[in-house]
């Protein structure tokens, strides 16, 4: 870890304005105490991905120079930062970027797409207006600080967004779909609901709507498990028995591999680099080995998994 972190710190130090101390810059930027920053400078603690993104954006650092292999060889990654005039337009821009990747695969070739999901797969709630709005509230928080300007009720989803959702799904139909669900599937989204309710961006009615939509998504996952189908398309659905630390999408075809690592929504890291994707492919094999296929199989494991998620959801609803 220290090799990579030292490389990042060297680049940051070279980019700092004259007279600005590294510890002061980091403390002000990522809102950490100086002692926490010193631990990172001494490489005792790793930067989080969110912190790396903040630093890269602040100093206009290309992440290509941060992702290195042993021996100092660089791999190619593109940091995709989305900043548009409205929340909906930012979301559309993010979807269009992903759609552009999908459309780069020859429809005549055999290819697959693997969604490794720390949180609830966005694909499953395209038609859930409330959860999409919650997604946009989180984007607003990530892009604009602790007090976003728009409330849940002020966000208006447009026909343009619906159109891009449809285009994205149409492009996906050319791929074999494989989805891996993390064990803490609802944790992040439930924390978001409670946080936005606490700061009055969600009303009690909004909160109830979101919890009902989550219940419907769990029912959808159960149905997918029973039928092996999602929106009239076959899908391989797995439940992971190990914590998924970072959501990612891995696409592979004959002679072409791509990885999209999800950062702070709506930002992501994209790579077509062979070595980078080989590493991600290996990690995917680890996830698969420690997961159970629940589409049209493993009824006992599927039921136990969904019951755990429903218990968590019911505990929140009762509070």
Helix and strand counts by DSSP (H, E) for the chain: 11, 9
CA dihedral 76, 175, 184, 283 (to 10 degrees): -40
3-state secondary structure of 32: coil
Sign of the Cα pseudo-torsion (308, 262, 176, 242, in order): negative
Q: For the whole prediction, is pTM greater than 0.85?
A: no
Instruction: Kindly give the confidence (pLDDT) of every residue in the chain, 319 residues in length, as a single tens digit, with 9 standing for 90 and above.
Output: 456 677 778 878 877 877 888 999 898 888 888 888 888 888 888 887 778 878 877 776 756 555 544 445 556 678 888 877 889 999 999 999 999 989 888 766 789 999 999 999 999 999 999 999 999 999 998 887 545 579 999 999 999 999 999 999 999 999 999 999 999 999 999 999 999 999 999 999 999 999 999 999 999 999 999 999 999 999 999 999 999 988 999 999 877 889 999 988 888 989 888 888 888 999 999 999 999 999 998 999 999 999 999 999 999 888 7
Which helix (H) or strand (E) covers residue 208, if one does? helix 204-227
Structure token pair of residue 136: 């946009």
How crowded is residue 32: how many other Cβ atoms within 10 Å of its Cβ? 17
For residue 16, whether the previous peptide bond is cis, meaning omega lies within 30 degrees of 0, is: no
């Amino acid at each position: 870890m220290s090799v990579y972190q030292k490389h990042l710190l060297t680049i940051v130090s070279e980019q700092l304005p004259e007279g600005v101390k590294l510890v002061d810059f980091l403390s002000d930027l990522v809102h950490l105490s100086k002692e926490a920053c010193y631990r990172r400078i001494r490489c005792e603690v790793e930067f989080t991905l969110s912190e790396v993104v903040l630093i890269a954006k602040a100093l206009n650092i290309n992440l290509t120079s941060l992702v290195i292999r042993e021996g100092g060889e660089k791999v190619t990654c593109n940091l995709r930062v989305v900043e548009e005039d409205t929340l909906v337009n930012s979301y559309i821009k993010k979807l269009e970027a992903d759609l552009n990747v999908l459309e780069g695969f020859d429809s005549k070739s055999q290819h697959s797409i693997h969604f490794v999901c720390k949180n609830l797969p966005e694909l499953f709630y395209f038609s859930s207006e409330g959860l999409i709005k919650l997604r946009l509230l989180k984007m607003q928080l990530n892009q604009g600080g602790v007090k976003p300007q728009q409330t849940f009720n002020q966000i208006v989803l447009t026909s343009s967004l619906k159109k891009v959702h449809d285009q994205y799904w149409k492009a996906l139909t050319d791929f074999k779909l494989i989805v891996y669900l993390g064990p803490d599937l609802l944790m992040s989204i439930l924390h978001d609901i409670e946080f936005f309710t606490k700061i009055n961006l969600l009303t009690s009615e909004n909160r109830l709507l979101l919890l009902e939509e989550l219940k419907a998504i769990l029912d959808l996952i159960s149905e997918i498990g029973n039928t092996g189908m999602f929106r009239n398309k076959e899908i391989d659905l797995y439940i992971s028995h190990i914590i998924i630390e970072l959501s990612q999408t891995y696409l592979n075809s004959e002679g072409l591999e791509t990885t999209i690592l999800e950062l702070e929504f709506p930002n992501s890291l994209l790579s077509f680099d062979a070595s980078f994707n080989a590493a991600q492919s290996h990690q995917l094999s680890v996830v698969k080995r420690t997961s159970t296929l629940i589409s049209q199989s493993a009824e006992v494991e599927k039921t136990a998994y969904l019951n755990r998620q429903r218990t968590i959801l019911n505990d929140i609803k009762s509070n």
